[in-house]
Chain A
Amino acid sequence: MTRVQRRIAMIVALVCISAFVLLAYSVYGTTLLSGQKRSGWTLFIIILFLAGYGLRKRLPFLPIGSASSWLRFHYSLGLVGVLFFLCHIKFALPNGYFELVLAGVFLFVTLSGIFGLLVSRLLPRKISLRGPEVLFERIPRYNRSIQESIESLIVDAVRESESEILAKWYRERLISFLSAEPKVWPHLMESRRDLLRINNEVDALKATVSRTEQRALERIQELIEQKDSLNHAYVHQLILKYWPFFHVPLTLALIIFSLLHVVLVYSFSGGLE
């Protein structure tokens, strides 16, 4: 089965399951039976299964299916879980404060999951399109190395030309560009405004300096391009690495709140079914 065929099969299965859930919900709605506990327990089990993906990642030695199969299952079950959640809250905002918080946590978990799905689909290609692969942990070191190379080029150029134009420009403009934290949004939007701005400055500077300094500036321009590529890789990898730091703790909070919710429901149900 090709990837496209598998996706189509998955979507068809999801549509069927969703239709079944909605049908069951509408049928229950016409009867005097309460579907709340049933949908609640189903939802809780779904949440536990979804959290099981994290456990699978910690047990790579167990022959319990590949992580990619688990992730696909995680996506599909997550969507079904949203449907159960909507049925459980009867497509309306909960009326208790605690339930409101619980619903809010569920919403944030879902949104962070969808965010994760989107970034894991979109960002890798952007990183590989931009340039050679670089390990995230090595980026700060590369940045330092670039800065040291630029500084040494400028020192050499100043010594040779006996002019302080480049040193002044470095102190006033370039150092802030080199030492600034990478800007997330412009890089995500593939904006090259900052790079163009600094390149324009270099071009303007070239017209006013000696041949030695021009040569240094040409090399500095290449290093600035490299620095920009590193910033690009850093921003994209940062998002890919750190979005689970929202999703996973929120999931844990959701499980704890759900357990509390179960306890409260049974404590205050007064023996009613």
Chain B
Amino acid sequence: MLRLRVQWQGTTTAEYQFDQREVVLGSIDTCEVCLRGEGVSRFHAVIVNKGTEYDLIDSSVEGTFLNAIEVSAHTIKVGDKIGVGRFIVEVLEASATPIERGETGEWTNFLGDPIEHGDVEHLLKMEPFASIDLDAFPRNRRLRSILQNDCRLLRCKDGDIVLREGDYGTAAYFVVSGATRYVLDTLPDEILGRKSQSRKSLSALFSQARVNRLIPELRASSEQSSSRVLGRRESKGKLPRVFLQDVPHVLDEFNTTVLTEGEMFGEISALGRTPRAATVFAEGDVTLLEIRWQGLRDLRRYSPQLRQYIDRNYRERSLKVHIRETSLFESLSEEEIDKVVAATVFETYGEFDWYGSYKQRISEDGTSRAIEEPVILREGDYVNGMVLIRSGFARLSESTGGSERTISYLGRGDTYGFQEIAHGWRSDSAIPYQRTLRAIGYTDVLIVPTQILEELVIPRMQTSQLPQLFDLENSAERFAFGEAQDDSVDPALLEFLVEHRFNNGTSIMMIDLDRCVRCDDCVTACATVHNGNPRFVRHGKQFRNYMIANSCMHCSDPVCMLGCPTGAIHRDPEGGQIVINEATCVGCSVCADSCPYDNIRMVAIRDEESLFHIDPVTQQPIVKATKCDLCVDQWGGPACERSCPHDALKRVDLSDFATLRKWVKKS
């Protein structure tokens, strides 16, 4: 129950009482609390029932104040005074009650049930757990505790989708009983719960300009029909499960293979933070052991058998592709590639779920952050191999006196250490690593041994192709060589981008404030192509004259995609944009809660009469996740960028610093 009292210059003008999920405060009639006056936006702010508390979320251009302090999002309590323009909205009662669906507090990304003691005993009798040496595990991380704390039992019914091709996930699955089907072909978008992102027709382009902009988040009633291919299984207190309506059809039309008791799947993508390679669904009643990455990491660390099993799978399925993609190994034969693959070691550094502590960490100072980052290799260490970044980012730094100075950042596909190896080979005198490499957030690396490079790669290269020798006498010169180095972008700007993890973005909205005339044409254009609802805020973190606006960055490590129960948020197979299929979005807010940059918003959708669409089961307003879709269905790319008359706004891909360099140079 939410009770509000509206005051205008000390006089009470109205009192309201609500028990719905969202209450919109704004200047137009369709808002639940209509406040007409100077300084009030059409949809100024929203109060959202989060199950245990109410949150106030600002969506205005003028700002929303909570007890005279400007807030963008804040929990409210009884007695709080919300400033909207010259109105004061007093909170008289704010007793949030859990909502059947749409509540986020108690949900986790797990789908399964907690494991009971008896289940652990049963699992310990099964292979491969039965043959694991229990004494190999440290006292504080016993196998039993891993099974109990990092695993869940997932009981699926016939047709339940366990994994979707292209999704990201942090868990691997082990078949305890029953059988699952591993689909060898790529399933159509409809089966995967996705929407084919075809471009709008010319008439659709024009009709979007005529939409009724007085109704926020308007969705036609006809769009709310359910899928014929997929069904949804609801269970209280859990994320809903999606199942295939017609399993025999899928079995007839597509190539599948059976995974039965004792087999594991999903471990490579869970450890490597890569998209799931295939779709897996249950065939009949199946019980699966869902192992989250922390458990998987420790199982691999302390159990040689499991390590061998996972590593063998990884070498067979993924490693070869990565090695082949690396330019250094382009000229190698198939046998030589196999030799490299066999010798390569792969390791994971940092926090897999770095996004959980992101907001707290960015408030700390840069030096303490850098020191806390896990070391991949340290300056002065013996050179035992070349590091190849497989996913994530790493910081390259050099010690200067008592501290470290950041020199560069390495992203996916970058290497470090080859120059030291080449120096040793050419000058016949081995030198240690010249810099320290640290994992930023989460980094997955491959280490190719020195011996392999000296045997297979360096002898084939001409002297001109090899990196320059280090000038060990002149320390200043050590910065002048080129491997994985980018010295043409202001290091302070680079530091700012990495500290805030903007380097994760493949399409960050960067605004040069020296050129921006604050005309808001970008916001207007975004609203025009999204039925009157802009999908970003022209506001955000600022470094000198550059602003990173609050818009989805279409991350290379899309943490928002981890745990979506229906696969509604997915990467567009063609353009790589992260998009949401509203038809399959169940409004659970897992994606919005996970996004470390707060670039996903949950909105209650309305019909042509400005009334909320109501879920027939829960009788609550239907909520959907919304965010920038990079105008994937429009012609010509993002409308924001195209509508900027002064080239002040650019969608920059920070997985490739060259794009940034080019734009910064240009501006």
A residues lining the B interface (CB < 8 Å): 2-3, 57-63, 66-68, 70-71, 119-120, 123-125, 127-128, 132-133, 135-138, 140-142, 145, 148, 237, 240-241
Contacts and interface: CB of A to CB of B under 8 A. Distances in A.
Interface in B64-99: 65, 68, 70, 83, 85
10 contacts: A63-B635, A68-B644, A125-B514, A128-B544, A133-B513, A135-B539, A136-B518, A137-B39, A240-B518, A241-B518
Q: Would you list the 7 A-B pairs with minimal beta carbon distance, nearest first?
A: A63-B636, A60-B525, A128-B513, A137-B61, A63-B635, A71-B645, A67-B645
Given A57-B643, A68-B646, A137 B62 contact: yes
B636 A138 contact: no
A235 to B, nearest CB: 13
Nearest to A1: B666
Contacts of A140: 38-39, 62
Contact of B642 (A66, A237, A241): A66
B65 A145 contact: yes
A186 to B, nearest CB: 21
Given A71-B646, A141-B39, A61 B529 contact: yes
A193 to B, nearest CB: 26
Interface string B633-644: 011100101111
Contacts of A148: 68
B134 interface: no
Nearest to B85: A141
Given A145-B70, A241-B518, 13 more contacts: A3-B667, A59-B209, A60-B529, A61-B205, A61-B529, A62-B635, A66-B642, A66-B644, A119-B517, A120-B646, A128-B513, A133-B539, A142-B63
Interface of B is mostly: loop
B646 to A, nearest CB: 6
Nearest to A2: B666
A1 to B, nearest CB: 10
Contacts of B539: 133, 135
Given A2-B666, A141-B39, A127 B513 contact: yes
B225 interface: no
A240 B65 CA distance: 27
A249 to B, nearest CB: 17
A240 B644 CA distance: 14
Interface in B484-529: 513-519, 521, 524-525, 528-529
Contacts of B70: 141, 145
Contacts of A119: 517
Interface of B: 38-39, 41, 60-63, 65, 68, 70, 83, 85, 200, 205-206, 208-209, 513-519, 521, 524-525, 528-529, 538-539, 542, 544-545, 547, 634-636, 639, 641-648, 665-667
Given A57-B643, A67-B642, A141-B63, A128 B518 contact: no
A118 to B, nearest CB: 12
Contacts of A57: 521, 643, 645
A60 B39 contact: no
Nearest to A233: B518
B535 to A, nearest CB: 13
A241 B648 CA distance: 16
A128 B38 CA distance: 27
Contact of A60 (B61, B200, B642): B642
A3 B208 contact: no
A27 to B, nearest CB: 37
Contacts of A62: 205, 635-636
B62 A145 contact: no
A124 B513 contact: yes
A71 B517 CA distance: 13
Contacts of B41: 137
A141 B65 contact: yes
A123 B515 CA distance: 9
Contact of A133 (B209, B542, B642, B665): B542
Contact of A123 (B517, B641, B643): B517
B547 A133 contact: yes
A141 B40 CA distance: 10
Contacts of A3: 666-667
Contacts of B524: 60
B528 A60 contact: yes
A124 B65 contact: no
A181 B130 CA distance: 80
Contacts of A240: 517-519
Nearest to B84: A141
Nearest to B545: A128
A127 B665 CA distance: 21
Contacts of A142: 63
Contacts of B644: 66-68
Nearest to B514: A125
Given A127-B513, A241-B519, A138 B61 contact: yes
A239 to B, nearest CB: 10
A200 B538 CA distance: 37
A153 B667 CA distance: 44
A155 B60 CA distance: 31
A61 B528 contact: yes
A68 B645 contact: yes
Contacts of B545: 125, 128
Nearest to A240: B517
A73 to B, nearest CB: 11
B68 to A, nearest CB: 7
A266 B65 CA distance: 62
B198 to A, nearest CB: 15
Nearest to B544: A128
